[in-house]
Amino acid sequence: MSDTPPGRGGLPDVLRIMEEMTGDPGTPVPLETSSDPFHVLVSTIISLRTRDAVTSVVSAALLHRAPDPATMLTLEEDELENLLRPAGFYRQKARQLLKISAILIEDHGGEVPGSMDELLALPGVGRKTANYLMGMVFGEPAICVDVHVHRISNRIGLVSTSNPHETEEALKPLLPLEDWTGINHIMVRFGQKICRPVRPLCDRCMLRHGCAFAGVRR
């Protein structure tokens, strides 16, 4: 495929080009263990500020030890911290997971709620995590905007926004509902392999023509 300026043919075509450059993205890390809502929620929280390889190992170990909210609450905080320790901000995440588990049992019958408002009410759950759950687990159209999606969307000129929430809203009209959920996984892969935060591989990028960032001296 020839080099294509960002936006030509629309965002769906841009996403297809990203997939062509990066190959099969495989299974998202929070879904590697299972598609159980609690497991995905726990893995997604672990993944914040943590490398994928570490997230995979820590999530598998923790969910083997505590596969449900009730079992999670049987753990002492220091034991939970030790299970989370390779992950970033493990002390904060330990407190959050214990609070979340208690709320799930007390208010939701031990189940992860399937509404945006209820997810956002859980400790440590922001729009990125809530949108991820809504799209990947509950099958509701949702755009999960992390650092990769926000950076890339602005770099290649899809949007001009100052924060992830603005990016989420700006991307919505650019894609049909059925494509909202997939954008995160595609852009994360593209951001890891091509459009990296530092020293992006612009010379390999099929979207570089028309991308203002490609001409910036780095």
Q: Where are the domains of the chain?
A: 11-26+143-215, 29-137
Nearest CA to 5 among 167, 217, 205, 172?
A: 205
User: May I ask the CATH architecture of the domain 29-137?
Assistant: Orthogonal Bundle (1.10)
pLDDT of residue 1: 36
Backbone phi, then psi, for 36, in 5-degree steps?
Answer: -60, 130
Amino acid symbol at 72: M
Top-tier CATH class for 11-26+143-215: mainly alpha
Burial class (CB in 10 A: 0-12, 13-18, 19+), 74: exposed
* Residue 62, H or E segment: helix 52-65
User: What's the chain's average pLDDT?
Assistant: 91
pLDDT digits (tens, 9 = 90+) for 95-131: 999 999 999 999 999 999 999 999 999 999 999 999 9
pLDDT digits (tens, 9 = 90+) for 149-189: 999 999 999 999 999 999 999 999 999 999 999 999 999 99
Kindly compute the dihedral angle of the four CA atoms of residues 151, 152, 153, 156, in this order, to the nearest 10 degrees. Answer: 120
Report the C-alpha gap between 172 and 123 in whole angstroms: 26
pLDDT of residue 40: 96
Please name the residues in contact with 85: beta carbons below 8 A apart, sequence gap of 6 or more.
none
Please name the residues in contact with 23: beta carbons below 8 A apart, sequence gap of 6 or more.
none
Kindly compute the dihedral angle of the four CA atoms of residues 98, 100, 106, 111, in this order, to the nearest 10 degrees. Answer: -120
Please name the residues in contact with 215: beta carbons below 8 A apart, sequence gap of 6 or more.
none
Global pTM?
Answer: 0.89
Amino acid symbol at 91: R
pLDDT for residue 8 is more than 50 = no
pLDDT of residue 218: 52
pLDDT digits (tens, 9 = 90+) for 24-52: 767 788 887 789 999 999 999 999 989 98
